[in-house]
Amino acid sequence: MKYKKTLIGAGFVGLGLLAGASYVLKQKRDDFKRQQLTQNIRDYFSRMGPIQVLYINSYESDETTTTGGVVLENGRAFEFVYHDGTIDYMEDKR
């Protein structure tokens, strides 16, 4: 009986470790995707001039679509939507 309890306890510990490891791996994968996305956006807009500010609207973005904006050093500002590797943007006229 004591052996059975030890095995059950070890099983729960193993499941906890597995869940923790999967959470950490998911976080790392999400961070990597976010960095790639940011770099793709920077590469795209840097052709128009040096970037002063790049921001992401996290409250409007989801897993497939990212929205945000870019301000170039010459003062031009753009709002963009990034979806499936394509960027749609329009210049912000303020």
Query: What per-residue confidence (pLDDT) applies to 1?
Result: 67
Long-range residue pairs from 72-76, CB within 8 A, at least 24 positions apart, any chain: 72/45, 72/48, 73/49, 74/49, 76/48, 76/49
Query: What per-residue confidence (pLDDT) applies to 53?
Result: 93
The CATH number that domain 2-92 falls under is 3.10.450.400
Query: What per-residue confidence (pLDDT) applies to 16?
Result: 77
Q: What is the mean pLDDT of each run of 10 residues along the chain (94 residues)?
A: 72 75 86 89 92 90 88 92 89 80
What is the pTM (predicted TM-score) of this model? 0.74
User: Would you kindly state where each structural domain of the chain is located, as residue ranges?
Assistant: 2-92
Query: What per-residue confidence (pLDDT) applies to 34?
Result: 86
Query: What per-residue confidence (pLDDT) applies to 78?
Result: 94
